[in-house]
Structure 1
Amino acid sequence: MTDTFDRSIKIAPSILAADFAALGAECEAVCAQGADWIHVDVMDGHFVPNISFGPGMCAALRSHVKTVMDVHLMIAPVDRYITAFAEAGADFITAHLEAGPHIHRTLQAIRGAGAKAGLALNPGTPAEAVAPVLDEVDLICVMTVNPGFGGQSFLEGQVAKIRRLREMIGDRPVHLEVDGGVDPTTAQRVVAAGADVLVAGSAVFRGGSIADPAPYGENIRAIRSAAGAPDGA
């Protein structure tokens, strides 16, 4: 599924917090409970200190994800894997600015493979670093934790970066995504600063299961309400 651009608030559960033994069913359950996108965190044990999924897993999940599949590559090098993730069905492929020396080439390769191009920034990378490629991206992802593990605490200092990026984006059709520590206590601040895509892992999956998915919906609605968005918007 491709994304038709709009700035409505989107909740993108990170399946890093889901039941790995039943990821297809988890994607279906959380979508049925109101998720807008599905966020897939790909980690290589090199660029970040953890290992998660590869393109084979994304391909296996694609039929279970009826909405946008948002694939976040926390890997280095990136370019050699772009085609595989695009062929696996990723709608967005997000690479880290810090993962290689030729980010312009990487973004062009993502678009050339048929996916939308995302650019992620680690907490220590300033907003101004994206200026040379603002017209080459479809999404900017601000990491509000240091990448590598779920369940970390939100880094308050990143709110100013979100606000600055919102100013830099202007009227470009570029999503501003926040990833890390998003929950009902932080959602309002990041949306007020300009974010429109909220990635949440444990804050969505906490308390629920495939057998009892209702808490997923309750958690999503709590984040959406805290962000100031009407239910389903």
Structure 2
Amino acid sequence: MARIQYAASIMCADLANLESSMAEVEAAGVDALHVDVLDGRFSPSMPLGLETIRRMRQITTLPFDAHIMTTDNEWFVAEMLALGADSVTFHIETTLHVDRLIGLARAAGAKVGIALNPATSLALLEFVLPLVDSVCLMLINPGYATNAAEKQVPYATEKVARLRRMIDDQGLAADVQVDGRVSFATVPDLVRAGATSLVLGSTSLFAKDATLAQNRARLDECIAAGGGIR
């Protein structure tokens, strides 16, 4: 059974009380803080500025899993590496020189991932899959998480399963990360399909009807139901 990693989407926390929110997340026992970096152009959202992220880095020891959703990925990758991100994931749709960004991350000693929008084909990973530590599959359109009506694309689990087969067939160790409406209801099927890293937001770890500790315990049950372990 695969060990499942928890990456807490900090944009879903109380942004007016980030220090206490991060302490609560750390106490809940997650593996990393998932830090969304948006420029307002790639998608209509910009929850965290670079100076805020810089200050966050100073007050928590949790690893930073930076998800860069911008139209100038090279600049933002360099900025996040300079801020001390432990891993950087950038979108292949807006990257002209994918190998160069992978090299920048490697040179800085960081892990590196490629992100794909929901409708982006897995075929784009053909030559770079052996070079990365993870692939992040967006299961909703980036930047629209505040729209409660937005649901996972209907082919979410199928895409996860296909990526898992690609990785396994090549004997690789890359994680399959899923992001977007990763909820109590969807986690078992996502894990069963082959996801190994879950970006947790408002429909799971930060669900409003319970504490983070209670939500974490419920997530552990969902992981077990999908055949994974923590």
**TM-score, length of structure 2 as denominator length:** 0.89
Runs of 4+ in 1 over 3 A off after TM superposition: 229-232
Read off the aligned partner of 1:228 and give its amino acid letter.
A
Per-residue Cα deviation, 1:173-203 (whole angstroms, up to 9, x for no partner): 2111000001110001111111111111112
1:157 corresponds to: 155
Q: How many residues align?
A: 223
**Separation (CA, whole Å) in 1 of partners of 2:36 and 2:229:** 24
The alpha carbon displacement at 1:232 in A equals 8.0
2:96 to 98, 101, 111: 101
Superposition pairs of residues 1-233 of structure 1, within 5 angstroms? 7-151=2-146, 152-170=150-168, 171-202=171-202, 203-207=204-208, 215-228=211-224, 233=230
SS at match of 1:219: helix
5+ residue gaps, structure 2: none
Is the 1:11–1:224 Cα contact (8 Å) retained in structure 2?
no
**Separation (CA, whole Å) in 1 of partners of 2:79 and 2:54:** 9
5+ residue gaps, structure 1: 1-5, 209-213
Read off the aligned partner of 2:5 and give its amino acid letter.
K
SS at match of 2:158: helix
Of 217-226 and 53-62, deviating more is 53-62
Per-residue Cα deviation, 1:14-57 (whole angstroms, up to 9, x for no partner): 01111111112211101202222211111111111111223322
SS at match of 2:211: helix
**Separation (CA, whole Å) in 2 of partners of 1:133 and 1:54:** 29
**Separation (CA, whole Å) in 2 of partners of 1:175 and 1:33:** 22
Read off the aligned partner of 1:189 and give its amino acid letter.
D
Identity, % of aligned positions: 34
SS at match of 1:66: coil
Read off the aligned partner of 1:187 and give its amino acid letter.
V
**Separation (CA, whole Å) in 2 of partners of 1:32 and 1:63:** 17
Is the 2:157–2:189 Cα contact (8 Å) retained in structure 1?
yes
Distance 1:231 1:107, change over 3 A: closer
**Separation (CA, whole Å) in 2 of partners of 1:128 and 1:180:** 21
**TM-score, length of structure 1 as denominator length:** 0.88
Read off the aligned partner of 2:23 and give its amino acid letter.
E
Is the 1:73–1:95 Cα contact (8 Å) retained in structure 2?
yes
1:211 corresponds to: none
Is the 1:184–1:227 Cα contact (8 Å) retained in structure 2?
no
